[in-house]
Chains A and B, each alone.
Chain A
Amino acid sequence: MKKTNTSLAIAVALAAGVGTSVFAQNIKEDTITFALTAQKQVSVSTSATAANAGTWEEVPFYYKTGTAKVTQANIIQFIGAVLWDNPSHYSSSAVLVLDQSELSGFFGITPDLGEEEPNVWSSGTSELNGTFDDNGDFLTDLNDSQYSSFVAFANGRHDTNNPNIGTLPVGHVQPWGQIWVKDKAKGQYDNVTFFFALSVEECYDCFYMNSFISQATFKNKVGAQNGPPCCSISSVVIGSGKDSYYLSLSFDNTENNPYLYYYSSCYVGWQVGTATVSGGAYVEGYGFPTSTAAIPGDAIVPDALPYDSTILSHLGKNLPYEARFTLNGIMTYTWTLNYINGGADIQPDFVGTGVYDVNGYGFIALYCSLLTGTVDFTEKVVKESTTIDDLYLSANSDYWSDDWYGVGAEYVQGFDDSSNSYYWETAYDYGDYLVPINVGTSLTYHENFNVIYPANSDKSEGTGTGVGGLPYDFAPASWPHSGYVPSLYFNDDLPE
């Protein structure tokens, strides 16, 4: 943690009169709503009339499906069940919020922000704990920022600066932010980003937009004198448009999630206070559960479930809030780029609505579920005092953004010859990317098919090195996809 740096940054900001929330009265808040329909198996039976009747040995001939809905209220229950051991922990008015959200492909971050260092468990170790230090860049809203984020424009390159004017490429970091449960009625605000994994498919080696398409128009607003007196600028860009990209969004409150898995380097159990992060009752390794504990290995190890010949076994009846699912589809973000605080803003900000039409699959309450529906990201300009930024600050006397969960970060393992030890850092820090991609602050893992993307390096050559001497890819991000999750449950090298 670098609270000193944060305080210093605040002091500097105050002294200079720039950035942060000093001048911003309004900021945007992005509320996430899920409206999913789940088709699930409700009966496998040996009887045409009775559901789930008979035994497996009798051979079931009758199969029936049912339909149910899944909303953000359910997801908040799934989170509460694991984070607080109580599915009803949050009030009925709790919402999911994407704080400091940036959904446009034109949102860019500076190398400075991209180089934030991930935190380790304690000094002298190389074990990541899933978070990163803010290092002073604690607000990424465009309107507040003059040094960490900016509006980017296509520069004719995929992965490098424009050779003539130095601009960075677009489309490598959206969506951006941290996902929170905001329960104003209860006065509780929890960063739950690590329950989610998001990845955006980049479109091979595009020299246009890299990961998204856009119908947009920008224009220069010349003569504007925006920002505080010390730092006002005379010309800015405003505009409106519609961006689309292919997004995958996963949720997982089981131990398959590396952030909830005790043996993972990204385990966050110590980070979230009173939380007991596990899928239901904690199952230590392959330790055998008591009859009152969760089912061993369920959703993690195939056939670790105890076998019960009765179809209606009631196995799993005690885990109605266990959930793991993945949604895929096109996110369409309709936005305007304008000032949300009039002349007090240094820069205009994107505000709009993201409509994410999805289908997907999942494992919810032990049922195989096929999902369709929409996820809406609704951004509104609101008083900053009503947002996570200020509410958390008031409740904790600290900026929440001291710690971000970089679930979109791509970590690699390096080796320090001088100390003869391994260490972790992001692929960007390691030099695998020329511009910020999958950095320690990323919400979204950007997937590509390029040899320099270490996610695609061969992981079969043992710890430490991949093909061609590339570092061994750790990549806890994007866990349902190609990112490697070092789940020891799946390790086939286990000694017999």
Chain B
Amino acid sequence: MRPKVVILSLIAAFCALGLMALMKGMAGKNAGGGDASNGQVKTEASAAPTNPAVAPTLGSTTGAVVSAELRDTLIATEISQIQDLQSQADGTNNPAIITALMGKFSNPEKQVRAAVITAFKELDDTNAIPDLQKEVANLQDPREKVALLDAIEYIKLPNITADVPPELRTNNPPYAFTIHTNVQFNPLFMKNKDVQLKLQGHPHADSAAPPATPAPAPAPAPAPATGQ
């Protein structure tokens, strides 16, 4: 047989199997759902009284019911995925990470959505703001709305070092800053500290400076400063 024919046959077979499985599932659901006619669906707990430790329905759209333990595991898994995404950020792949994180807002678990908000806050990328602002409308819980709005405001804030001029960003100290002509140095602080340390018997007073430490600067005359 030609490859195309084989592929088409396989697809048809899988479709048939899927259809059969779906029909079987519906039949089973009707068979086991004695109260379904009343609009109520039996929980796993009621169907299996030997397993009393059944938690509330995992708030998913499928209506699936899981144990508290499984629910915790699912939440932890989701949060772990969010943290993984966040940790992958390197500045170049942020768009992909933002998209992936936004998708997590659809999770029905509040804890997961809270983790998403935290992740965005820590990712601190202003490119996410438009999408986040749209997401505010989708959230139902007022506390979550406030948390997301707070996160957006935080991302909008300027960074504490945003105003640092470029020449100071890679060298420390760079310095050639200008001192005003009216600067007055406090003579109290012009004493020779080493002498004082020796007077106190401090053991480091006589030590050589550490290798990585610049030698003490000689006391210069008051700086001939220019205007600002």
Which residues on A are within 8 Å of B, measured CB to CB?
Answer: 31, 33, 35, 37-38, 67-71, 73-74, 77, 81-82, 85-88, 92-93, 95, 125, 127, 185, 262-263, 267, 269-270, 272-278, 280-294, 296-297, 301, 303-304, 306-310, 312-315, 317-321, 364-365, 369, 374, 376, 378, 380, 488, 491, 493-495
Give residues of chain B (34-87) contacting chain A, Cβ–Cβ below 8 Å. 80, 83-84, 87
Give residues of chain B (187-227) contacting chain A, Cβ–Cβ below 8 Å. 189-194, 196-197, 199-200, 202-205, 209-217, 219-220, 223-225
A82 CA to B158 CA, complexed, in Å: 23
A289 CA to B221 CA, complexed, in Å: 10
Given contacts A68-B162, A270-B210, A280-B173, contact A308 B90 (CB under 8 A): no
Cross-chain contact of A282 among B154, B170, B213, B228 (Cβ < 8 A):
B213
Given contacts A288-B190, A291-B179, A293-B175, contact A74 B168 (CB under 8 A): no
Cross-chain contact B213 with A276 (CB below 8 angstroms): yes
Cross-chain contact A376 with B118 (CB below 8 angstroms): yes
Residues on B with C-beta less than 8 A from A185 are 90
9 contacts between A and B (CB under 8 A): A35-B154, A67-B157, A69-B124, A69-B158, A88-B170, A92-B91, A284-B217, A285-B196, A310-B182
Q: Determine how close the nearest CB of chain B comes to the CB of A112; give it in whole angstroms.
A: 31
Which residues on B are within 8 Å of A, measured CB to CB?
Answer: 80, 83-84, 87, 89-91, 118, 121-122, 124, 154, 157-164, 168-180, 182-186, 189-194, 196-197, 199-200, 202-205, 209-217, 219-220, 223-225, 228
Cross-chain contact of A69 among B87, B160, B173, B194 (Cβ < 8 A):
B160
- Interface centre among B124, B179, B205, by most A CB within 10 Å? B179
Cross-chain contact B161 with A286 (CB below 8 angstroms): no
Cross-chain contact of B193 among A67, A281, A287 (Cβ < 8 A):
A287
A-B contacts, CB under 8 A, total: 213
13 A-B pairs besides A71-B122, A289-B220, A292-B176 with CB distance below 8 A are A85-B172, A85-B173, A272-B212, A281-B173, A281-B214, A285-B194, A290-B217, A296-B185, A314-B177, A318-B175, A321-B161, A321-B172, A493-B200
Q: Determine how close the nearest CB of chain B comes to the CB of A286; give it in whole angstroms.
A: 5
Cross-chain contact of B212 among A276, A320, A376, A488 (Cβ < 8 A):
A276
A82 CA to B219 CA, complexed, in Å: 23
Given contacts A307-B184, A310-B182, contact A288 B220 (CB under 8 A): yes
| B-side interface mostly | loop
Residues on A with C-beta less than 8 A from B172 are 81-82, 85-87, 280, 321
Cross-chain contact B160 with A68 (CB below 8 angstroms): yes
Cross-chain contact B204 with A38 (CB below 8 angstroms): no
Which B residue sits closest to A493, measured CB to CB?
Answer: B200
A82 CA to B172 CA, complexed, in Å: 8
Cross-chain contact of A303 among B186, B199, B209, B214 (Cβ < 8 A):
B186
Cross-chain contact A38 with B192 (CB below 8 angstroms): no
A69 CA to B205 CA, complexed, in Å: 41
Cross-chain contact A71 with B194 (CB below 8 angstroms): no
Residues on A with C-beta less than 8 A from B190 are 286, 288
Given contacts A37-B157, A287-B193, contact A306 B118 (CB under 8 A): no
Q: Determine how close the nearest CB of chain B comes to the CB of A451; give it in whole angstroms.
A: 30
Cross-chain contact A318 with B213 (CB below 8 angstroms): no
Which A residue sits closest to B180, measured CB to CB?
Answer: A308
Given contacts A88-B170, A280-B172, contact A306 B197 (CB under 8 A): no
Which A residue sits closest to B176, measured CB to CB?
Answer: A292
Cross-chain contact of B192 among A71, A286, A296, A303 (Cβ < 8 A):
A286
A289 CA to B189 CA, complexed, in Å: 11
Cross-chain contact A274 with B212 (CB below 8 angstroms): yes
Which B residue sits closest to A81, measured CB to CB?
Answer: B172
Residues on A with C-beta less than 8 A from B192 are 285-287
Which A residue sits closest to B223, measured CB to CB?
Answer: A291
Q: Determine how close the nearest CB of chain A comes to the CB of B185; give it in whole angstroms.
A: 5
- Interface centre among B84, B87, B205, B209, by most A CB within 10 Å? B87
Cross-chain contact A86 with B90 (CB below 8 angstroms): no
Residues on B with C-beta less than 8 A from A294 are 173, 175
Cross-chain contact B169 with A270 (CB below 8 angstroms): no
Q: Determine how close the nearest CB of chain A comes to the CB of B144; give it in whole angstroms.
A: 16
Cross-chain contact A38 with B122 (CB below 8 angstroms): no
Q: Determine how close the nearest CB of chain A comes to the CB of B117; give it in whole angstroms.
A: 11
Cross-chain contact A380 with B83 (CB below 8 angstroms): yes
Residues on A with C-beta less than 8 A from B220 are 288-291
Cross-chain contact A307 with B183 (CB below 8 angstroms): yes
Cross-chain contact A291 with B168 (CB below 8 angstroms): no
Cross-chain contact A314 with B193 (CB below 8 angstroms): no
- Interface centre among B91, B175, B204, by most A CB within 10 Å? B175
Cross-chain contact A127 with B83 (CB below 8 angstroms): no
A67 CA to B150 CA, complexed, in Å: 14
Cross-chain contact A86 with B170 (CB below 8 angstroms): yes
Cross-chain contact A291 with B225 (CB below 8 angstroms): yes
Cross-chain contact A378 with B197 (CB below 8 angstroms): no
Which A residue sits closest to B183, measured CB to CB?
Answer: A306
Cross-chain contact B189 with A296 (CB below 8 angstroms): yes
Cross-chain contact A495 with B211 (CB below 8 angstroms): no
A66 CA to B176 CA, complexed, in Å: 27
Cross-chain contact A93 with B216 (CB below 8 angstroms): no
Cross-chain contact of A68 among B157, B194, B209, B216 (Cβ < 8 A):
B157
Cross-chain contact B177 with A317 (CB below 8 angstroms): yes
Residues on A with C-beta less than 8 A from B177 are 291-292, 314, 317-318
Cross-chain contact B196 with A494 (CB below 8 angstroms): yes
Which A residue sits closest to B162, measured CB to CB?
Answer: A68
Which B residue sits closest to A80, measured CB to CB?
Answer: B172
A290 CA to B163 CA, complexed, in Å: 25
A303 CA to B188 CA, complexed, in Å: 10
Cross-chain contact B180 with A310 (CB below 8 angstroms): yes
Residues on B with C-beta less than 8 A from A290 are 217, 220, 223
